[in-house]
Structure 1
Amino acid sequence: MSPQSLAGSLPPSPDGIALAPAHAAAVREPSAPGAWGGPRQGSEPTLSDRVVSYQIEARLDPDKHTVDGRQKLTWRNRSDRPVQSVYLHLYLNAFEGEGSTFMTERRQGFAFRSAVDVEDDDWGYTELRKVQQGGQAVPWRFVQPDGGPATDHTVVRLDLPQAVGPGASTTLDIDFFDQLPRVLARTGYFGSFHLVGQWFPKIAVLELPGERGAKEVRWNAHEFHLHSEFYADYGLYDVKIDVPQDVTVGAVGELQGEPLVQGGRKTYHFVQGDVHDFAWTADRRFAKPLTAQWTGPGSPPVTVTVLYPPEYQANAQPVLQATLDALTYFSQTLGPYPYRTVTAVVPPFNAEEAGGMEYPTFFTASSYAHAEPGTWNAYDLDFVTIHEFGHGYFYGLLGSNEFEEPMLDEGLNEYWDLRMIRDRGQKIPLTTQRLRALGWAPEIGVFDMERMFSVMGRATDAIGANSWDRYSSEGYGSVYGRTATVMRDLEATLGKPVIEKAFKVYYARWKYRHPAIGDLQAVLSEVSGRPDVVNRLFEQQVYAVRKLDDRIDSLTSEEVLPDAGWRQVDGRWTLRRSEDVDREVQAQRAAWAKAHPKAKAGEGPFPWKTTVMLRRDGVAVPQTVKVRFADGSVEKVTWNGELPWQRLSWIRPSQAVSVEIDPEGRNRLDTKLLDNSWRLEADGRAARRWAHEITGLAQTLFALVSTL
C-alpha cells in the first residue's frame, strides 16, 4: 500500500506508544542501573545486546548513481508490551528537494559546513518499493515527529499486520531504491566516487523506562535536521554490495573472502556485529589501498586500510599513521578497540563534503593537495583523522544519541582528541608552506585555539541542548569547543589522573548502552568524589549557558607613612607637623638604605598597604587570587560567591608587584584572559597575552589562506 493512500493527519499509533518529545535535549536524570540490559561484563556471547539484524543486498549503478536494495530487517521488542507500529528512518530523503526539514532549516539561515549549492540534478532520495511482514503487505505513512513540514519524508511509520509481542522478534522484507545525491552533506557522489551513507531504511530506537530519561516505553525517532546526526540500536549487519568489476569498495566491517566476480560485475560481502550503522564507498579511481596491522592489549589484530584517489596519494601515509596513533591512544585511555578493521577514506577533489564523517569501523578524512609538515594543512589532515576515528568510541561504542545530546559525541570526542594531541606534545602551526618558507611559523596550543573559537564570543546555547534547537549554526558548532573547554577546566580542577579514571569507568560502564548526559555527570561525580564541582559546572554550562568573566579592576600598593597632626604623648597633646614627618621619613629611609644596601625596590622601613579590586560580570566560580610582593612573598586567597565585586587588602612589609586571577589556568571559560592579571611595573607579559589572543584569532585567516 502506498503512503499516499494514508495521507492526512496522523492518528495515534494502534499500540498507543508515544514518540520522544520534539524538543528533547539534555537528560539530567541518570539512567536506571539495568538500562539497556545493564553493563556488559564481557562474558556475554556478543559484545552488545543485539536488538536488530540487517541482511542487505545492494546493487550500485555508478553511472546513474543509484542503488537497488533488498533488505531483511529483524527487530526484537525489548519492552513488556505488544508493539503494533514501528518507525523507520529514510535519511536520504533529506536531499529529495527543498521541502525537507534539512533543506528548510538551511533556507532559514543555518549552514552545513561549506554549504554546497544544489543544482537541479543534484537531489537524491530513498523510495520504499515493498514492505512485508510474514508475506503480508505493511502499510506505511510519512510522519514528522518534530513538527516539521509535511513535505519532510525522513521518518516513516509502519503499522504492522501482526503485533510484536513482548520479547518477541519480527522480520520485515523491504525492497528499496536510492537515487544518490551529489555530495552536499555527508553522503552522495561526485564523478565516479560514491560515499553511500544513511542509505537504507533503518529502524528507530524503542526506549524503555529508566533509559535516557524515559518514563514510559517510547520511540526515539526524529526527523533528519540540518545539524543532527544519528542514533540507532546495536545489531548485526550482513551486507552484499554488487558493483562493476572495475570498482573498488570499502565498507563497515570485515570482508568475507575475495569478492565474487561474475558477468563483468563483482560482489563484496561485509559482515559486522555489535555496531549500529553501515556505510560504504565505491570508486573506480581508487589507487592501490594502503594497509597496516595494529595490535594492542585486549584487542584483536586490527587491519587498517586507507582508500584514496591518485591525486591525494601524499595524504595516504599521514592518514594511516594518525589512525594507528589514535588506535593506541584511545585503546589505552578509554578501553580496548574491539573490532578487527578500520577503514579510512580520503575523498577526491570536489567531494570535500564527503570528508570528515564517521561510521563504525569506517570514516572519511580530509584531503589536501599540499600538506607539508609544519603547516596548517598537515595538522588538519592529522586532526580530522584522529577526530573521525575518535567518533568510533563516543558515537560508535558508546552509542550516544546525537539527535538530542550531541555533546556526548561531538563534544566529548573533541575533548579527547585534543588531549591526545596535547599529550604527545604537539601544537598547532598557524602557517602555510609559503609563509613558513619566509620564516613565519607561529604555533598555538590546541586547547587555546579551541577556546578562541568557542569562548571569546557571546555564547547562545547550552552545550547540552539538542542539535536543532539552536540560535544559529555557530550555536551548534559551539558544542565542539565549549564542551572541550568545559571538560578541560574540569580536568584542571580535579586533576588529570581523576579525569582519566572517570572516563575509563564511563566507557566500561556504558559501552553499547546509549548513555545520557546525566550518566556522564554521575560517573564524574562518583569517581572524583567532588559532586559539588561537577554539578556546579554542569548547571552553569551544560544545562544552561552562563558567561564567565572575572577581572582585576585595580591594584594599588602604597607605603603606610607616619601621620601628621595632633597626638597624645605621655598624656599630653603634641602637634606633629608635616615637615617633622618628612624629616622622620627621610631619616628612617637613610638608615634603612645604609643597613640594607642590597634591598629591592618596594622594600623599606615602612609597611605597604596593598588593595586589589575584583569584578565579576558572569557566573560565580571558585578562583584563586595570587599576589606577589617585592620581597618574594606571596598571598593566595580563594574568591568565591555571587557578589559582583570584592575588595582584598593586606598590610605587608613590602610593596605588591603583581596580582593574578587563576594562576593555574583552571578556568579557560573566562571570556577575557587579558584582564586576569595586573603588574605595577610594566613588562612584556601583557604584550605576550595580547599576542596569545591575537594568534588564536589569526588562525581563522590562515586556515582560509591554506585552502586557496
Structure 2
Amino acid sequence: MAQATAPAQAASAASQTALQEIPFAPAHDTIITTQSAQNAWGGERTGTEPTLSDRVVSYTIDADLDAAKHAVTGKEHMTWRNRSDRAVSSVYFHLYLNAFQNEGSTFFSERKVLTAHGHARGNAVLEKGQWGGIRLQSVQQSGAPLKWSFVHPDGGPATDETVVRIDLAQPVPAGGSLALDIDFLSQLPRVVERTGWWGDFNLVGQWFPKIGVLELPGERGATQVRWNVHEFHFASEFYADFGLYDVHLTVPSDYTVGAVGKLQGAPEQNNGKTTYHFVQGDVHDFAWVAAKGYKTMDGSYAGPGSPKVAVRVIYPSEYEASAAPTLKSTIDSLGYFSRTLGPYPYETVTAVIPPYNADEAGGMEYPTFFTSEGYKVVEPDTVFQTLSDFVNIHEFGHGYFYGILASNEFEEPILDEGLNEYWDNRMLRERKQDLVLATPFTKWLGITPHFSGFAFERLSASLFHPADPLAQNSWDRLSVNSYGTVYSRTATAMHDLEERLGRPALEKAFKLYYQRWHFRHPSVADFRAALIDSSGNAKDVDAIFNQYVYGTAFIDDKLADIDSYEVLPQAGVTWKDGKRTEVDAKELDQQVDKQRSDWEKAHKDAKPGAPGPFPWHSTVTVQRDGVSAPELLRVSFEDGTHQDVVWNDDRRWARFDFVKPSKVVSAELDPDQHNLLDRDRFNNSQTTEPNGAASRRWTADVAALLQSFYALLATM
C-alpha cells in the first residue's frame, strides 16, 4: 500500500530544497499596503500590444462528458512561461474539484466552523454517489512521466487535495517555457456551491488542472519570487494568470452547450455526440454548461470601442419568464460598464439560468460567462424583478472586477465582490431603479415598499460590530457573516468616499484604476494609489482606507441635546460711562409684560411659531462615539427657517449656539445621508415636539431588513 501511494505522498530531498527556494505566498499575513511596481505584470497595457494581456499560459483541452455519470474525461496540453529570474524545478496546480471529494477538504473543514456563526451558500449535504473530485491520471513533460504530491500552502488538513506539486524532469530556465500533457478525470459533484450537476444539468466549473501564479517582487506586495497557490477555502474564489484557451467539448447531441469564449465553426456530430470548439484569449479561466432540453435566447450589443458582442441566455423551460429580463439587464450592463470603466473587449457574453434545486450553481462568474437565477414569474415592480436585475448586473460586473482587472479573490475579495457591489448600485441609481420588496400579492393589495440600493447595503453591513478589515482575505474571518460584509460594507464605504470626493471625481478615479490595471492583477494598495492620484485628495481617501479598508472603525455621531431660552432684559447692576445703573427684577417683569402686550396688540394676525417681541438663544449639542467624519448639522427653527452648520473636526462633542427670532424645534446630523457608515442613524436627530419621522424611518428599516433575507440570494 505504501508503494502504491508513494507518488502522491512523498517528495525527494531535492524537490524539498526546490520548494524552499520558491516559497508560497503567506497564508495569513495577506493585507497589502505597498503599491505594486510600475512594471508589475509587464506594465500598463496601452492597447498597442499584439494581445490584450501579457499571456503567461495557454491551455488546449479536449473534454468528453459522460452525461449519465456527470464525469468529464480530459486531455490537457498546457504551456507556461517562467517570468522569473531563476529556474523552476517544481510547479503547482489547483485541483479545485477535490474540495468536494470528502469532508476532510479545507472547504468542508472550514464550512463546519464558519457556518456555525451565520448562514451561507454551500450547505448542501452530499449523499452516496454525489461526491466529486479530480484525478490526475498522467502528467508528462516531453514524453517523460512526472511525479506529483499534494501540498498545503495554507496549513490546511492533510486530507485536503486541492493543491498539487508536480516535480519536473527538466527545470524551466529563467524566461523559458514549460509544456505539460495531462490526462485527468473530473467527477462533478451534485451542486454544493458554484459547480456540479442536478438532473440533466451540468455546470462544469473549476474542472481542469490549473497552474498557480508565480508572482515576482513588486507584484501585489511580493518582496521575492513566490507561488501564489492557495487551497480552495470555503469562502474564497479564484486567481490565475491570463492566457489563451482552446477547448473542444464533446457532449450528447441532445444537450445544449454554452461556454467561455466564441464558438469556432459549426459543431461536429458523430455517433450521437456533438463536439463544440470554443476559443478565447486574454482570460484566466474556462467554464461551461451542458444541459439537456435547455433553450436559448439571443441578443447583441454594439458600443464605442467594443467589438459587436453576441449575448446569449441559456435557460430551462420552467424559468422561461427570466430569459428576456436576463437578456435585457445583461445588455444594459454592457453599456453601463463600458461607458463608466472601459469598453467591453470580448465578442461574447453567455448567461446561464440553472434549474430548480440547483440554485447554488447560480450567481457565479467566469470570463464572458456567468450564471444567474430563475423565477417562474418576473412581474415589473416586484421583488422577483429586483432580484433578477441585481443578480444579472452583479454577475456581469464580475466580468470587469474579477475578469478584466483579475484581482486575487483569495486574498482581496474587496477588489472583486466589494467594488463590484458598489458599481452595481451606482448603475441602479443611474437607472433610478429602487429595490422593490413587493410580491405580486402585496402589489395587488397596493403595498409596494421600496428603497435605494445603498440604503439596503448599509443595513446589511454590520456597522455596529465589524469583525474584520475589508482588506482581509476570504478565509481569516470570524464568520461567513463577516465575509458577507465585504459586499455591503465596501459598497457603503465607497458610497461615503464618493460623497467626500464628489461623484464625477470618484468615477474619474475608477477609470484611472481600470486604465492602469486592466489585464493585470492589482492590489488594494494599487487601488488606493489610483484614487489618490486621480482625486488629489489623500486626506479623505486615507481616512476611508485607514478606518475601514485596513481597520474596523465605525462612525456614531449623535444629537445629544437641544436647549432654548428667551433672551429677556436682565436684572442687576451695569456700569456705563462711570455711572452705575441697577435694574430691579420686579420692575423688569413689568417691563417685559408690557412689551409682550404691546407686541400682541400690534401683531394680532401672527401665526403660531412666528417671531415674538424677544429673540431666542438655542444651543444644540452633538456627541461623537466613533471616528470623525465630516458632518452637516441642519437646525430648524419654529418660524420654518433652517440653518446648516458644518462639524468637521476631531472633537468628541461640540455645542452650537444660535440667537434667532425663533427657537430651535429640531436638529439633524447628515440630513442628506452622505455618511451611510454611521452605524446608528436613529440618534442623528432630535425634536422638541412630537414627530412621526422616527417611526416612519423604523418602518423603512424593517422593510429593508426583510429585504436582506432576499438579498442573501443576490450577493454572490
TM-score bin, normalised by smaller chain: over 0.9
Q: Compared with structure 1, are the counterparts of its residues 705 and 169 closer, same or farther at alpha carbon in structure 2 (3 Å cutoff)?
A: closer
- For residues 21-57 of structure 1, the C-alpha deviation after alignment (integer angstroms, 9 at most, x for no partner) is 0014331111111111111111110000000000000
Deviation at 1:134, TM superposition (A): 1.2
Q: 1:449 aligns with which of 448, 451, 456?
A: 456
Give the aligned partner of residue 17 of structure 1.
22
Q: 2:699 aligns with which of 691, 700, 704?
A: 691
Give the aligned partner of residue 194 of structure 2.
186
Give the aligned partner of residue 484 of structure 2.
477
Q: 1:487 aligns with which of 463, 486, 494?
A: 494
Deviation at 1:368, TM superposition (A): 1.3
Contact preservation (8 Å) 2:460, 2:708 = no
Distance in 2 (CA, whole Å) between partners of 1:594 and 1:85 is 98
Q: How does 1:366-515 map to 2 (within 5 A)?
A: 366-515=373-522
Residue 180 of structure 2 corresponds to residue 163 of structure 1: no
One-letter amino acid matched to 2:283: V
Distance in 2 (CA, whole Å) between partners of 1:298 and 1:529 is 29
SS across alignment from 1:387: helix
SS across alignment from 1:454: coil
**TM-score of the superposition, structure 2-length normalised?**
0.95
Deviation at 1:19, TM superposition (A): 0.7
SS across alignment from 1:183: coil
Q: How does 1:118-517 map to 2 (within 5 A)?
A: 118-287=126-295, 289-517=296-524
One-letter amino acid matched to 1:212: R
One-letter amino acid matched to 1:563: Q
Distance in 2 (CA, whole Å) between partners of 1:371 and 1:119 is 34
Give the aligned partner of residue 112 of structure 2.
107
Q: Compared with structure 1, are the counterparts of its residues 639 and 3 closer, same or farther at alpha carbon in structure 2 (3 Å cutoff)?
A: farther
Q: Compared with structure 1, are the counterparts of its residues 565 and 216 closer, same or farther at alpha carbon in structure 2 (3 Å cutoff)?
A: same
One-letter amino acid matched to 2:336: Y
Deviation at 1:131, TM superposition (A): 0.7
Most deviating of 192-201 and 74-83: 74-83
Deviation at 1:700, TM superposition (A): 4.0
SS across alignment from 1:121: coil
Deviation at 1:457, TM superposition (A): 4.5
Contact preservation (8 Å) 1:35, 1:210 = yes
Deviation at 1:4, TM superposition (A): 3.4
Deviation at 1:115, TM superposition (A): 1.6
Give the aligned partner of residue 534 of structure 2.
527
Distance in 2 (CA, whole Å) between partners of 1:159 and 1:438 is 67
Give the aligned partner of residue 36 of structure 1.
41
Deviation at 1:8, TM superposition (A): 5.5
Contact preservation (8 Å) 1:628, 1:656 = yes
Deviation at 1:599, TM superposition (A): 6.6
Contact preservation (8 Å) 2:666, 2:688 = yes
Distance in 2 (CA, whole Å) between partners of 1:323 and 1:570 is 82
Q: Compared with structure 1, are the counterparts of its residues 639 and 704 closer, same or farther at alpha carbon in structure 2 (3 Å cutoff)?
A: closer
SS across alignment from 2:21: coil
CA RMSD between the two structures: 2.1
Deviation at 1:591, TM superposition (A): 3.2
Deviation at 1:571, TM superposition (A): 6.1
Give the aligned partner of residue 657 of structure 1.
665
Deviation at 1:388, TM superposition (A): 0.4
Distance in 2 (CA, whole Å) between partners of 1:237 and 1:457 is 46
Deviation at 1:437, TM superposition (A): 1.1
- For residues 192-243 of structure 1, the C-alpha deviation after alignment (integer angstroms, 9 at most, x for no partner) is 1000000000000111111101111111010000000000000000000111
Distance in 2 (CA, whole Å) between partners of 1:402 and 1:575 is 78
Deviation at 1:651, TM superposition (A): 3.0
One-letter amino acid matched to 1:154: T
Q: Compared with structure 1, are the counterparts of its residues 2 and 319 closer, same or farther at alpha carbon in structure 2 (3 Å cutoff)?
A: farther
Give the aligned partner of residue 92 of structure 1.
97
Contact preservation (8 Å) 1:2, 1:140 = no
Give the aligned partner of residue 518 of structure 1.
525
Deviation at 1:570, TM superposition (A): 7.8
Contact preservation (8 Å) 2:320, 2:376 = no
SS across alignment from 1:689: helix
Most deviating of 605-614 and 291-300: 605-614
Give the aligned partner of residue 7 of structure 1.
9
Deviation at 1:582, TM superposition (A): 1.9
Q: Percent identity?
A: 53
- For residues 416-443 of structure 1, the C-alpha deviation after alignment (integer angstroms, 9 at most, x for no partner) is 1111111101111112111211111111
One-letter amino acid matched to 1:276: H
Q: 2:612 aligns with which of 604, 621, 624?
A: 604
- For residues 47-86 of structure 1, the C-alpha deviation after alignment (integer angstroms, 9 at most, x for no partner) is 0000000000001001011111000010001111111111
Can you give the 5+ residue segments of structure 2 that lack an aligned partner in the other structure? none
Q: Compared with structure 1, are the counterparts of its residues 3 and 665 closer, same or farther at alpha carbon in structure 2 (3 Å cutoff)?
A: farther
Deviation at 1:634, TM superposition (A): 4.5
Q: Compared with structure 1, are the counterparts of its residues 12 and 185 closer, same or farther at alpha carbon in structure 2 (3 Å cutoff)?
A: farther
One-letter amino acid matched to 1:674: F
Distance in 2 (CA, whole Å) between partners of 1:214 and 1:527 is 25
Most deviating of 437-446 and 606-615: 606-615
Q: Compared with structure 1, are the counterparts of its residues 436 and 642 closer, same or farther at alpha carbon in structure 2 (3 Å cutoff)?
A: same
Q: 1:71 aligns with which of 73, 76, 79?
A: 76
Distance in 2 (CA, whole Å) between partners of 1:76 and 1:57 is 22
**TM-score of the superposition, structure 1-length normalised?**
0.96
Distance in 2 (CA, whole Å) between partners of 1:322 and 1:420 is 11
Contact preservation (8 Å) 1:502, 1:524 = yes
Contact preservation (8 Å) 2:236, 2:409 = yes
Deviation at 1:650, TM superposition (A): 3.1
Can you give the 5+ residue segments of structure 1 that lack an aligned partner in the other structure? none
- For residues 549-604 of structure 1, the C-alpha deviation after alignment (integer angstroms, 9 at most, x for no partner) is 11001111211222334555886766544432221112222333445554762622
Deviation at 1:697, TM superposition (A): 1.6
Q: Compared with structure 1, are the counterparts of its residues 15 and 80 closer, same or farther at alpha carbon in structure 2 (3 Å cutoff)?
A: farther
Distance in 1 (CA, whole Å) between partners of 2:232 and 2:364 is 16
Distance in 2 (CA, whole Å) between partners of 1:647 and 1:90 is 62
Contact preservation (8 Å) 2:97, 2:133 = yes
Distance in 2 (CA, whole Å) between partners of 1:28 and 1:224 is 24
Deviation at 1:704, TM superposition (A): 9.5
Residue 544 of structure 2 corresponds to residue 542 of structure 1: no
One-letter amino acid matched to 1:660: E
